[in-house]
Amino acid sequence: MSLLKDLTKGIYRENPVFRLVLGMCPFLAVTTSVENALGMGAAATFVLICSNFLVSLFRNIIPSKVRIPCYIVIIATFVTLVDMVMNAYLPDLHRSLGIFIPLIVVNCIILGRAEGFANRHPVLNSIADAVGMGIGFTLAMVILASFRELLGNGTLLNINVLGSAYQNQPLLIAILAPGAFILLSFILGFFNILEKRKGGRQ
């Protein structure tokens, strides 16, 4: 039951974006398309799982005074691996994500889970936590990216959805920085309303 709780909490109850408001930099920057969102989400999830695994495995060995630098070295190792693999096999996606792949090293979600959870819990629980947080982060990115791509380009996964007439005059602000903030505010407001209604029923 504890493993299931650790796995599911990151999807909604402690969603890193919509509930904890973490990882805003890559979240707002790369969600111009669903493809970018899935790529960044998969990369971050892989790094989360691997780093949580090692941090939990060595939590009783890593000296407390140097734990943060050690976490960063662990995370950077897996980010470098992701960067090289993506560059070799998914060059278009790698170019599209750009600097935000290396910046996963200092992503506060990954560092936060290493320090706040993996450092204090067994390996299996830490992996479950990483999977849940990774899924939650990816889902959040896909939700925002879907709105931005649909409104800004009239497409989803580069498939024309709204027709060529819409593509001639799309809502371009949706794929620009102001559009990301505006759409995010509506989504956060929606989740806040859900929480208030849930609290009222209880």
Taking only the tens of pLDDT, the chain with its 202 residues reads 488 999 999 998 899 999 999 999 989 999 999 999 999 999 999 999 999 999 999 999 999 999 999 999 999 999 999 999 999 999 999 999 999 999 999 999 999 999 999 999 999 999 999 999 999 999 999 999 999 999 999 999 989 988 888 888 889 999 999 999 999 999 999 989 988 887 766 5
Closest Cα partner for 148 from 176, 174, 170?
Answer: 174
Tokens (6 digits) for 61: 């060995």
Q: What is the pLDDT of residue 184?
A: 94
Q: What is the pLDDT of residue 155?
A: 92
Q: What is the pLDDT of residue 156?
A: 92
Which residue's entry shows tokens 């969603």? 15
CA distance 104 to 16: 14
- If you ran DSSP here, which 8-state letter would residue 189 be given? H
CA distance 74 to 86: 19
CA distance 180 to 29: 8
CB atoms within 10 A of CB 78: 21
For the chain, the domains span 2-144
* pTM > 0.75: yes or no: yes
CA distance 65 to 185: 39
Q: How many CA atoms lie within 13 A of 180 on its CB side?
A: 17
Find the radius of gyration of the CA atoms of the chain. Answer: 18
Q: How many CA atoms lie within 13 A of 12 on its CB side?
A: 8
Tokens (6 digits) for 3: 């493993």
Q: What is the pLDDT of residue 201?
A: 65
Query: At 141, which helix (H) or strand (E)?
Result: helix 123-153
